[in-house]
Amino acid sequence: MYLSDQVQNANTLFLKCINNLNALPKPADEGTLFVGSMLDGFFGNFLGSYHRGLDAEAKQNALNVELQSAIAAVDQLEAALLLLPKVAEKYSATLSDSAGRIVVDFNESWGDSGPNDWLVLQNRGETLKDCTIVVQLTGASGKVRKNVHFLETWPANTSMWGRYQSGEEVLGRTVEKTTVTHVQELDITIYSPQFATQIHYVYQGAEKDKDIAQICKDLSFQGSYQPYQAGIVWDTQRGVQLTLNGVSLLPQCRVDVAFRKGDQSKVWFWNHDSWMKGETKSFNTPKGGLDFDPDRIDFEISFPHTNYKYKTTLNVDTESGK
């Protein structure tokens, strides 16, 4: 009864803050305010009006007061929900093997895949009632984030989707943060009266590489060779231009470029913070660094925290030099 009261009190306080926020005067063209609720994950989208109101300081100050109360209520709600697994364990079946019953798939935010991490759990066994799911994510730095989900009914052959966000900085603190940076592994515990299990899922490595390869399956480039050109003031050095196609965005990456002709080869690399679709990047060699016109140019693009690499070759027309 204590846990139920805690959740109810937090919900009541949160909804009161939302109603107060909705009643406060907003800047012009405010649009909808707090249309969602905390039912999407723990927090919901209660930041919209905070950002939209930044152009009116007096109104924003009033919003800030209520927003602080709303954040405190959500903290209270989350603390109460984290007690749920202790209660669920008492009424749960004995832990058993999950093989063939629960299928796990995790996808971390990367490139143009969107801002959120996603977990999919597929129930291939019987229908589960009063099901509590505890998901613990561990990041590259060792930081851990625990999320709790509750399903009154989890039908057979259906999937549960969990959305995890990196959070936002508001009023000097991070809110809506439900994931960790560079997820390494997940520990998942499922409690229900019908079935209970624990699953250790390693994401960093083959699983992550597979996800990035899928995102990059349509990745392509358009390239052109830049021959050496003597100038009056300065010379144009040999190099190559590459235009990104196929995907809308590549995150931080390293580009290794190898200029080749017969048994001659010169290699350089460049680091880029991002690369947008349609953007052309130039890879110019240093003065005197490349003393031959290549007949082919090999590219290898790699990314932090994954073994996936994209490789392609640009063949150069030696007659036209392009």
Number of other residues whose CB lies within 10 A of the CB of residue 269: 12
Do the beta carbons of residue 293 and residue 253 sit within 8 Å? no
- Percent helix, strand and coil across the chain, each to the nearest 5: 20, 40, 40
DSSP 94: P
The pLDDT of residue 2: 38
What are the pLDDT digits (tens) for 5-50? Answer: 444 444 444 444 445 445 545 444 443 333 322 334 444 454 555 5
Q: Is residue 119 part of a domain?
A: yes
Sole residue written with tokens 């190099």: 239
Which of 53-62, 215-224, 264-273, 289-298 bottoms out in mean pLDDT, i.e. has the lowest?
53-62
What are the pLDDT digits (tens) for 133-168? Answer: 999 999 999 999 999 888 899 999 999 999 998 877
Average pLDDT over residues 257-283: 97
Q: At what angle do helices 2-23 and 57-81 cross, to 10 degrees?
A: 170
Last residue of a domain, one of 47, 81, 115: 81
Please name which of 154, 148, 118, 117 lies closest in space to residue 133, comparing C-alpha atoms.
Answer: 148
For residues 74 and 94, state if they share a domain: no
Round the average pLDDT of the chain to a whole number and report it.
82
For residues 48 and 95, state if they share a domain: no
Count of the separate structural domains present in the chain: 3
Contacts of residue 87, Cβ cutoff 8 Å, sequence gap at least 6:
3
Looking at the chain, the whole-number percentage of residues with pLDDT higher than 90 is 59
For residues 60 and 101, state if they share a domain: no
For residues 104 and 123, state if they share a domain: yes
- pTM of the predicted structure, to 2 decimals: 0.75
Average pLDDT over residues 237-249: 96
Dihedral of alpha carbons 120, 126, 130, 135, sign:
negative
For residues 300 and 225, state if they share a domain: yes
Structure tokens at 56: 């009116």
For residues 225 and 244, state if they share a domain: yes
For residues 150 and 241, state if they share a domain: no
> For residues 64, 70, 72 and 73, what is the CA-based torsion angle, rounded to 10 degrees?
170
Where in the sequence is the domain holding 30, given as residue range(s)?
Answer: 1-81
Q: Is residue 228 part of a domain?
A: yes
SS3 category, 255: strand
Q: Is residue 321 part of a domain?
A: no
For residues 110 and 196, state if they share a domain: yes
For residues 111 and 194, state if they share a domain: yes
The pLDDT of residue 265: 97
CATH number of the domain enclosing 96? 2.60.40
What are the pLDDT digits (tens) for 70-82? Answer: 666 666 666 666 6
